Amino acid sequence: MSLFESLKKKIVVVTGGHQGIGKEVVDTFLNEDSIVVAADLAFENQELKQVSGNKYQIHLDVSDEDSVKKLTQNLVSAKLIPNVLVNVAGISTMDYLIESKTSDFDKTIAVNTRGTYLVAKYLVKLIVDAKNGGKVVFIASQAGKNGYRAMSSYVASKHAVLGLTKTLAIEVAKDKINVNAVCPGIIETSMKHRERKDGAVIRGLTPDEIEAEDNSQVPLGRTGTPKDVANVVLFLASPLSDYMTGQGINVTGGMTMN
């Protein structure tokens, strides 16, 4: 059921739209009868492909400038200039900082930080040039506000995403573009399940022990779902958030409150 008539037929571009939070964001906007372009490394088609009435998909490597440029060119050619941009694409690597691989750090920064920068550089320019205003939502993390053991690369990358959010929000406010970030807590995705396994090895625990630890840290008593995050993204894309910009909104069940 649609909640926001104003999002009907609006063009929404979602990076990382293949699985997890990204897929839930795609489905949430499709439920609003928006026109959604899902871009993801997992998609093989290098050109924009219409896969259903309102849904398009295309291959995208957010860390590769040429790939982001190609997405931009496809959107222009198809006359699908975004009204809403949601950058979800992200990865994590795990190890204690002094034992970590520099290549893992570089890869995480390339996707999470450089990727956010490139998507903003090219796709937000399309919104600016269209002169119709718009909404931009970056998926950051509560790791953009706190430190977590064995996740230095991810923490650093997500702190940077919040810095980009604040800066871009100031720069494009005059263009009637709102830029905000969502900071999820512990969300049950395949990435989180893999992190529990990797973290268990690093810390000498079991994945079940880490899951119990996760739940014990959340005042609301449960970890989150992709839908919990997608609902807040929808709010930030709607007229209800018109007087909000430059914010990092926690969706953490109370685990992070600042």
Distance CA(16)–CA(252), nearest Å, equals 20
Distance CA(210)–CA(223), nearest Å, equals 12
Is 243 one of the annotated active-site residues of the chain? no
HEC sequence for 198-216: HHHHHHCCCHHHHHHHHHH
15's enclosing H/E stretch is strand 11-15
Residue of 96, 122, 154, 243 with catalytic role:
154
Q: How far is CA 243 from the centre of its chain?
A: 21
Distance CA(154)–CA(108), nearest Å, equals 6
**Token couple for 104:** 């893992």
90 contacts 139 by C-beta, under 8 angstroms: yes
Distance CA(141)–CA(154), nearest Å, equals 9
The DSSP 8-state label assigned to residue 240 in this structure reads: G
Positions marked catalytic: 154
